[in-house]
Amino acid sequence: MIHFLIISSILSTLTGYTKTNDSHWYNDTLNNAALIAIQDSGRIKPLDTFARFRLLRINGRRVHYTENRRKMSAIEWLLDCLFFPEKAKSYRVFLVQNDAVLDAIGISRLDKKKRDRYSYIELESGKRKLFELASEFSKIEEKERNIIQAQTVHLAENISLFELLIHYLKFAGFRYNVLPESTLSQVFSDKNIVCFSDVLHQSNLVVEQFNKLREKSTSNNDPVLTQKLEEYRTLLNDIDILGSQAVAIRLFPPDKPRDLEKEWLTPSDLVALKFFHSNKLDTYINLISTIEKLVAHKNEPDKFNDLFTGFLNELSKLSIARGEYKKIPLEVFFYKSQSFYYSLIIFVFSFIFIALSWLKPNVPFLSKPGLVLVSVATILLTFGITLRCVIRARPPVSTLYESILFITVVAVLVSLFIEFVNRQKAALATAPVLGMIGLFLANKFEVKQGEDTMTSLVAVLDSNFWLSTHVTTITIGYAAGLLAGAIAHVYLILRLVKYKNNDPTAFRNLTRMVYGVICFGLFFSVIGTILGGIWANDSWGRFWGWDPKENGALLIVLWELTILHGRMGGYIRELGINLAAIFGGCIIAFSWWGVNLLGVGLHSYGWTSGVFTALSAFYITEFLIILFIGGWLKLTEVFVIQKKGHTPAA
């Protein structure tokens, strides 16, 4: 227990939560709740992580603001859902992106905005119509739904998820009066009021008595016997209904080693095991009894906190015995440290300082803070990625979300290395921009998905060796190609605003950077593609199958080879290399994200809502830059050369 109290006190310092008049919970209670281990989506995680992503999916953000603008953490919101469901129903947590959804289900918007948040109570009258429409729209393939259909389905799913939470602990409030003349008094001889756990404890005897009465009733139409049988039937039916509602959280680790039994248990599972398999489940039933006491004392914070600390201690012993608890405190720390959030903020401030240093190059104290801040932001980003790797025991590229973070940190680190080598400030200016864009995209992707980003991997990806070699290598190639395109944008912008127009050396240096980064990226792209073929041969029995993802990787290699050969042959020079690098970024975006939109191939990891719009905007922007800015600069070059009386270069 000391172990948990120490961790809880550390987390209390980190979070700074305070008990206010409209909060039911002490800091210790919130921190203890955060440290509860559960199983969700196939992996063991803290209840805090579950709460964060459940609230993020429903609410569009990781916290809830009460009517008086108090900031409520996800774990506090979840505890209110479990223990104070009527109060949780009044929280405006359901984000409705378009009020046309409400019109369709007959909900009055009153003074709300087109995009606003609503409570369960406000939406309850339209729930039946909502589920009818959602059932109809869910038959349409996801990528074919229009925006209203997609949001209707999403809202219905969120309502269902919320209802699973508010009904989860209904079993803990169950009470059944056993009258002295009742047949049940023979089973529960020492109790006048029976709880859910009491029935589980005596389940064998309850079933035995029920079967005896049923056998007698088949040959005897005695009304008294029928009444007794109905009493047992009512009790068992109530237990079955309450148990079936307690499925939202897999709270109980099995008492077997994890290599023999991987699936954790819900209260519903315990009912099935106890009544249908006659398992001896005393440890779990005692925990159920503690939950009943927690519900009974939910309005007494001191008593509740003491009970909750003991509950966490007893529950955690089961997961510790299976070796599944050790990373729970680390994951809670990871999310509460918010390293990616603070890294993004620091990248923004570093960019401001670096931008000012470009505007005021003669002021030396402006550039140094920029470099320091970029370094601090990169350390925080690297720290967060490292923690994720330790928690998951995986390389940092096992999901699309992680690939955004990894590409971002690689691009920033390469930028800082280039700046260390040439001291031109161009790479230093690129680093915070890439950091901001990468972390912004990662955050938007996480919010859009609304799901745990440390998910269990599909079978074909469940290989640390290939994730560490092929996926990491190919992703470094992506990062280098995107970095080359980013530096090429700097080249075009400086040329367009005529910055150092009389110093061609500066632009040659920028082009050398682009060319060098392309060479760096080509090396990793070629190695990564070859390793991917070896992995494909090992998994699918063929080295190459012209899969869209394989074709995308090949396009990257061919295009970067084209740039190198074009430069060596004199077909493209400064401007051409930079424009080609920008187009290379479009090819990388297709290989990285675009193949998922095709919905075909062994490497397609599913339709990602919103990606098509983002990719389309990216492609259009880049093509316009190449066409207009690149075209304008080329015309300018030709005009200047002709004015000097020289023949235009190829």
Is the pLDDT score of 4 beyond 50?
A: no
| 325-382 pLDDT tens trace | 999 999 999 999 999 999 999 999 999 988 888 777 666 666 688 889 999 999 999 9
What single-letter DSSP state applies at residue 170? G
- Is the domain of 86 the same as that of 111? yes
| pLDDT value of position 594 | 80
User: What φ, ψ does residue 384 adopt, rounded to 5°?
Assistant: -65, -45
Of 615, 613, 618, 617, nearest in space to 147 by CA? 613
- Bridge partners (DSSP) listed for residue 96: 116
CB atoms within 10 A of CB 9: 13
| pLDDT value of position 216 | 79
pLDDT above 70 covers what percent of the chain?
89
Q: How many domains does the chain have?
A: 3
Q: Which of 89-98, 191-200, 628-637 has the lowest mean pLDDT?
A: 628-637
Q: Which long-range contacts (CB under 8 A, 24 or more apart) does 399-404 make?
A: 399/453, 399/454, 399/455, 399/457, 400/445, 400/593, 400/596, 400/605, 400/608, 401/442, 401/445, 401/446, 401/449, 401/453, 402/453, 403/475, 403/478, 403/592, 404/438, 404/441, 404/442, 404/445
- Is the domain of 66 the same as that of 161? yes
Is the pLDDT score of 15 beyond 90?
A: no
Is the pLDDT score of 136 beyond 80?
A: yes
Task: Taking residues 201-219, report their average pLDDT.
Answer: 83
**Which of 500-504, 607-611, 626-630 is modeled with the greatest confidence?**
626-630
* Boundary-marking domain end, from 124, 148, 171: 171
Give the whole-angstrom CA distance, residue 495 versus residue 625. 13
Give the whole-angstrom CA distance, residue 515 versus residue 513. 5
Instruction: Say how many residues make up the chain.
Output: 650
Task: Taking residues 438-451, report their average pLDDT.
Answer: 91
Is the pLDDT score of 12 beyond 60?
A: no
Whether 485 maps to a domain, the answer reads yes
Of 548, 629, 636, nearest in space to 592 by CA? 548
Whether 68 maps to a domain, the answer reads yes
Is the pLDDT score of 621 beyond 60?
A: yes
| 399-426 pLDDT tens trace | 889 999 999 999 999 999 999 988 878 8
H or E element at residue 560: helix 548-568
Whether 476 maps to a domain, the answer reads yes
| 87-135 pLDDT tens trace | 999 999 999 998 899 989 988 766 677 889 999 999 999 999 999 999 9
| pLDDT value of position 633 | 86
| pLDDT value of position 13 | 45
- Is the domain of 65 the same as that of 110? yes
Is the pLDDT score of 457 beyond 50?
A: yes
| pLDDT value of position 468 | 78
- Bridge partners (DSSP) listed for residue 95: 117
Is the pLDDT score of 609 beyond 90?
A: no
- Is the domain of 46 the same as that of 104? yes
* Boundary-marking domain end, from 212, 245, 278: 245
- Is the domain of 137 the same as that of 199? no
| pLDDT value of position 355 | 85
Give the whole-angstrom CA distance, residue 370 versus residue 367. 5
- Is the domain of 111 the same as that of 206? no
Split at pLDDT 50, 70, 90, the class of 456 is confident
Whether 160 maps to a domain, the answer reads yes
| pLDDT value of position 602 | 57
| pLDDT value of position 89 | 97
Q: Which of 293-302, 361-370, 429-438, 486-495 has the lowest mean pLDDT?
A: 361-370
The amino acid present at 106, given as its one-letter code, is G
Place of tokens 């159920």: 288
| pLDDT value of position 642 | 63
- Contacts of residue 215, defined as CB under 8 A and 6 or more positions apart, other chains included, come to none
Task: Taking residues 22-30, report their average pLDDT.
Answer: 86
Q: Please state the pTM of the whole predicted model.
A: 0.88
Whether 352 maps to a domain, the answer reads no
User: What φ, ψ does residue 294 adopt, rounded to 5°?
Assistant: -60, -45
- Is the domain of 96 the same as that of 207? no
Q: Which domain holds residue 572?
A: 457-644
Q: Which of 2-16, 265-279, 325-339, 443-457 has the lowest mean pLDDT?
A: 2-16
Give the whole-angstrom CA distance, residue 239 versus residue 537. 53
Give the whole-angstrom CA distance, residue 645 versus residue 632. 20
Whether 446 maps to a domain, the answer reads no
Q: How many degrees, rounded to 5, is the angle at CA 198 between CA 197 and CA 204?
A: 105
| 458-514 pLDDT tens trace | 555 555 677 778 889 999 999 999 999 999 999 999 888 887 766 778 889 899 999
- Is the domain of 232 the same as that of 141? no
| pLDDT value of position 135 | 95
- Is the domain of 546 the same as that of 581? yes
Q: Which of 137-146, 538-547, 558-567 has the lowest mean pLDDT?
A: 538-547
Burial class (CB in 10 A: 0-12, 13-18, 19+), 187: buried
| pLDDT value of position 367 | 66
- Is the domain of 38 the same as that of 161? yes
Split at pLDDT 50, 70, 90, the class of 1 is very low
Of 410, 383, 429, 340, nearest in space to 588 by CA? 410
| 158-173 pLDDT tens trace | 999 999 999 999 999 9
* Boundary-marking domain end, from 141, 171, 201: 171
Is the pLDDT score of 644 beyond 80?
A: no
- Is the domain of 48 the same as that of 156? yes
Could you tell me if 250 and 40 are in contact, meaning their C-beta atoms sit under 8 angstroms apart? yes
- Is the domain of 89 the same as that of 103? yes
| pLDDT value of position 555 | 94
| 30-48 pLDDT tens trace | 999 999 999 998 899 999 9
Is the pLDDT score of 248 beyond 70?
A: yes
The dihedral built from the CA positions of residue 142, 145, 146 and 150, taken in this order, carries a sign that is negative
Alpha-carbon distances, residue 221 vs 214, 231, 374, 474 (angstroms) = 11, 16, 85, 77
Is the pLDDT score of 5 beyond 50?
A: no
The amino acid present at 436, given as its one-letter code, is M
**If DSSP codes are grouped into helix, strand and coil, which group holds residue 338?**
coil
- Bridge partners (DSSP) listed for residue 250: 39
Is the pLDDT score of 389 beyond 80?
A: yes
Whether 140 maps to a domain, the answer reads yes
**Phi/psi zone of residue 648: left (φ > 0), alpha (ψ -120 to 50 degrees), beta?**
beta
Task: Taking residues 551-577, report their average pLDDT.
Answer: 92
Could you tell me if 637 and 646 are in contact, meaning their C-beta atoms sit under 8 angstroms apart? no
Tell me the residue ranges of DSSP E strands in 97-253. 116-119, 175-177, 193-195
CA-based end-to-end distance of the chain: 76
Q: What is the DSSP string of 492-532?
A: HHHHHTTTTTT-HHHHHHHHHHHHHHHHHHHHHHHHHHHHH
Place of tokens 């389309």: 616
Give the whole-angstrom CA distance, residue 275 versus residue 203. 6
Whether 167 maps to a domain, the answer reads yes
Give the whole-angstrom CA distance, residue 176 versus residue 199. 10
Mean pLDDT of the chain: 87
Task: Taking residues 546-559, report their average pLDDT.
Answer: 89
Split at pLDDT 50, 70, 90, the class of 256 is confident
